[in-house]
């Protein structure tokens, strides 16, 4: 507020400068949606390395191709990823005999009973069979008194994930009792809020269960039998002891939980998924992602349902992201790809298709080579290029090498590449010295016959980057007085952002006037707009187009004839 002078002297008043810096958003956060061995379901989880993926989601798994895509993403320079795990419950097995209905399906979560208390693994899957729970009564009398309870009402809980590299959680001074004002240390509340391994099974009863009997200081379900089995396996590693181990594990943790069945399109885009923010639409709970990868999940060899591809492309247009589309498994040569591109479920300007698949050794199958979808590796190349050169640089060329890819499923020649490229198919090539590289950078509107302004991936991605950055960086404008002072501030701040990109080489042109413009004045915002509370900002830019075709003209010099 202006200073109100009351005495003779000097007054100091700070005046806002009007500068509100617009910060560019991230450009290569990649979302992966599919099946994993463990982890939270229908929840976007951010990871920053493959070690995070192994710890939270179980790493590579023969039951899903998503882990391989994440591995390739980080091998090729990826930085931050968002994982959405989908889980498809097993159907009830068919009834083997006559009479009553079929047997119940296996449970989704592993149940663990210790000292008369029943817990369950935090997330679905058989991984819960590796959990071990211990209880003890080494508790604090002062904590008990502060909650209006006795020391005998409290216990400590320790849960250990025995998977290599698994975590250990310890919770002290828990109780089964409640008070009229509620007990913050009640075991079900603490586990629900803090534990990533264990939850209370079912709803907490109105009548609390009996406290466990601490005949010894520790109740430990890791029995002598299990320790003896471990010693036996160490002494003779070739002895599988499958039946013995299974019987022991069942005795400790109950019936084995299911890792779920194969996914289908309903798991991604089924009825009610969008409203419930589940499946593909669980990404609604993520603030930002730039690239979307859906690894193949159907059949053997696997593919992605066309309905899922179409829905994913439409969703990417809403979220200002790019969808990386994998080739069909039936595309075993150039002709199959050329004929099949017309049946791809989308030609969105926010989608790009890459062909062929990658041939890589599979560490879970004795390093035998198999065909893998390329989208994870290509997303890593996108991220690496963004870091080194910027989002306006095409993620293709000799620098766009594919790390960890010894072969391609379909070797392509220059003429074959020349047939596919005009159709909007980005080819992966094996070039001398460079190895396997990305050799195309067109969107699915890159077909020459469409004459689209969004023909090239870097042009489209730069536009999305500008849209998202300006959308987030101009939120302060809302509810400001809509007149020339506001318009001048908008021109100043948006112009400063565009100038910074021009200095980095993001646009065509030798001068800012040739490269971009920002307009916000009485020409863009009329009096009628002002009356309706509308301010119009017009931003134009001259994008850099990739040098897709390099033509070198050679000419013999004729001998000069003196005249």
DSSP symbol at 543:
B
Residues 201 and 333 in one domain: no
Residues 278-307, buried b or exposed e (16+ Cβ, 10 A)? bbbbbbeebebbbbbbbbbbeeebbbbbee
Looking at the domain assignment, is residue 258 inside a domain? no
pLDDT of residue 327 exceeding 60, the answer is yes
Range of the domain at 237: 111-253
Residues 165 and 294 in one domain: no
Query: CA 179, 183, 186, 189 torsion: positive or negative?
Result: positive
Containing 501, the helix (H) or strand (E) segment is helix 484-503
Residues 240 and 165 in one domain: yes
Residues 392 and 290 in one domain: yes
Quick: pLDDT tens for 436-463: 999 999 999 999 999 999 999 999 999 9
pLDDT of residue 191 exceeding 50, the answer is yes
Quick: pLDDT tens for 242-268: 455 444 444 445 556 889 999 999 999
Looking at the domain assignment, is residue 97 inside a domain? no
pLDDT of residue 294 exceeding 90, the answer is yes
Residues 83 and 211 in one domain: no
For residue 124, how many other CB atoms are within 10 A of its CB? 24
- For 23, the token pair is 């910060």
pLDDT of residue 125 exceeding 50, the answer is yes
Q: What pLDDT is attached to residue 179?
A: 67
Residue located via tokens 């791809």: 344
Name the range with the highest mean pLDDT among 180-184, 312-316, 559-563.
Answer: 312-316
Residues 447 and 560 in one domain: no
Q: What confidence tier does 558 reach under pLDDT thresholds 50, 70, 90?
A: confident
Residues 159 and 303 in one domain: no
Looking at the domain assignment, is residue 292 inside a domain? yes
Q: What pLDDT is attached to residue 255?
A: 58
Residues 268 and 239 in one domain: no
Contact 56, 39 (CB under 8 A): yes
Average pLDDT along the chain: 88
Looking at the domain assignment, is residue 70 inside a domain? yes
Residues 301 and 450 in one domain: yes
Residues 407 and 268 in one domain: yes
pLDDT of residue 277 exceeding 70, the answer is yes
Q: What average pLDDT does this structure show over 471-480?
A: 95
Looking at the domain assignment, is residue 377 inside a domain? yes
Q: Between residues 240 and 396, which one has the greater pLDDT?
A: 396
CA distance 260 to 61: 13
Quick: pLDDT tens for 200-232: 987 777 777 788 777 544 445 455 555 565 555
Q: What pLDDT is attached to residue 502?
A: 96
Looking at the domain assignment, is residue 22 inside a domain? no
Looking at the domain assignment, is residue 10 inside a domain? no
- For 447, the token pair is 């077909």
Contact 198, 112 (CB under 8 A): yes
Q: What pLDDT is attached to residue 228?
A: 61
Q: What pLDDT is attached to residue 94?
A: 58
Q: What average pLDDT does this structure show over 69-89?
A: 96
Number of domains present in the structure of the chain = 3
Percent of the chain with pLDDT over 90: 67
Strands (E), 183-317: 198-200, 218-219, 291-293
Residues 372 and 296 in one domain: yes
| 247: CB partners within 8 A, 6+ apart | none
Residues 510 and 420 in one domain: no
Looking at the domain assignment, is residue 465 inside a domain? no
CATH number for the domain that contains residue 413:
3.40.50.11780
pLDDT of residue 240 exceeding 60, the answer is no
Contact 515, 508 (CB under 8 A): yes
Can you spell out the DSSP letters for 369-436?
A: EEEE-SHHHHHHHHHHHHHHT-TTS-S-STT-B-TT--EESS---HHHHHHHGGGTEEEEEEETTTEE
Sheet containing 435-439: order of strands: 45-47, 81-85, 30-34, 291-293, 322-325, 351-355, 425-431, 435-439
CA distance 548 to 421: 10
Per DSSP bridges, beta strands 218-219 and 154-161 are unpaired
Q: Which of 252, 379, 263, 266 is nearest to 321 (CA)?
A: 379
Pick the range with the lowest mean pLDDT from 103-117, 260-274, 283-297, 428-442: 103-117
């Amino acid at each position: 507020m202006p200073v109100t002078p009351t005495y003779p002297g000097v007054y100091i008043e700070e005046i806002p400068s009007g500068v509100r810096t617009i910060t560019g958003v991230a450009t290569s956060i990649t979302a992966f949606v599919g099946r994993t061995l463990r982890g939270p379901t229908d929840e976007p989880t951010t990871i920053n390395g493959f070690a995070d993926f192994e710890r939270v989601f179980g790493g590579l798994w023969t039951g899903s191709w998503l882990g391989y895509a994440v591995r390739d993403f980080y091998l090729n320079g990826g930085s931050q990823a968002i994982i959405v795990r989908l889980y498809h419950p097993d159907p009830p097995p068919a009834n083997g005999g006559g009479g009553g209905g079929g047997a119940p399906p296996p449970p989704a979560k592993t149940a663990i009973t210790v000292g008369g208390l029943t817990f369950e693994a935090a997330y679905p899957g058989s991984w819960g069979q590796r959990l071990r729970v211990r209880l003890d009564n080494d508790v604090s009398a002062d904590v008990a008194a502060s909650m209006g309870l006795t020391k005998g009402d409290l216990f400590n809980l320790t849960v250990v994930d025995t998977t290599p590299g698994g975590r250990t959680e310890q919770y002290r001074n828990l109780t089964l009792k409640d008070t009229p004002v509620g007990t913050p240390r009640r075991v079900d509340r603490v586990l629900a809020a803090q534990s990533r391994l264990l939850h209370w099974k079912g709803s907490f009863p109105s009548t609390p269960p009996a406290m466990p009997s601490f005949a010894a200081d520790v109740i430990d379900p890791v029995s002598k039998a299990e320790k003896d089995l471990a010693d036996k396996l160490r002494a003779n590693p070739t002895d599988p002891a499958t039946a013995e181990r299974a019987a022991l594990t069942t005795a400790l943790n109950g019936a084995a939980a299911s890792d779920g069945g194969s996914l289908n399109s309903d798991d991604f885009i089924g009825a009610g998924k969008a409203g419930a923010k589940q499946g593909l639409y669980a990404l609604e709970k993520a603030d930002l992602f730039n690239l979307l990868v859906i690894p193949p999940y159907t059949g053997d060899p696997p593919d992605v349902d066309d309905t899922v591809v179409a829905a994913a492309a439409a969703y990417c247009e809403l979220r200002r992201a790019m969808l990386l589309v994998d080739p069909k498994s039936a595309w075993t040569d150039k002709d199959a790809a050329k004929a099949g591109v017309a049946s791809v479920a989308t030609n969105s300007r926010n989608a790009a298709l890459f062909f062929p698949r990658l041939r890589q050794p599979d560490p879970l199958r004795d390093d035998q080579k198999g065909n893998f979808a390329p989208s994870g590796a290509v997303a890593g190349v996108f991220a690496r290029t963004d870091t080194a050169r910027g989002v306006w640089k095409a993620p293709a060329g000799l620098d766009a090498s594919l790390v960890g890819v010894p072969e391609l499923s379909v070797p392509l020649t220059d003429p074959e590449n020349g047939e596919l490229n005009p159709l909007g198919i980005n080819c992966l090539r094996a070039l001398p010295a460079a190895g396997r590289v990305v050799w195309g950078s067109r969107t699915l509107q890159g077909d020459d016959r469409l004459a689209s302004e969004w023909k090239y991936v870097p042009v489209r991605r730069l536009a999305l980057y500008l849209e998202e950055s300006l959308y987030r960086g101009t939120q302060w404008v809302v509810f400001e007085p809509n007149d020339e002072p506001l318009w001048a501030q908008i021109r100043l701040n948006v112009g400063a952002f565009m100038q910074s990109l021009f200095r980095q080489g993001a646009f065509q042109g030798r001068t800012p006037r040739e490269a971009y413009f920002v307009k916000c004045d009485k020409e863009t915002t009329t009096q009628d707009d002002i009356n309706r509370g509308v301010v119009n900002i017009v931003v134009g830019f001259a994008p850099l187009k990739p040098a897709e075709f390099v033509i070198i003209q050679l000419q013999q010099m004729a001998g000069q004839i003196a005249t």
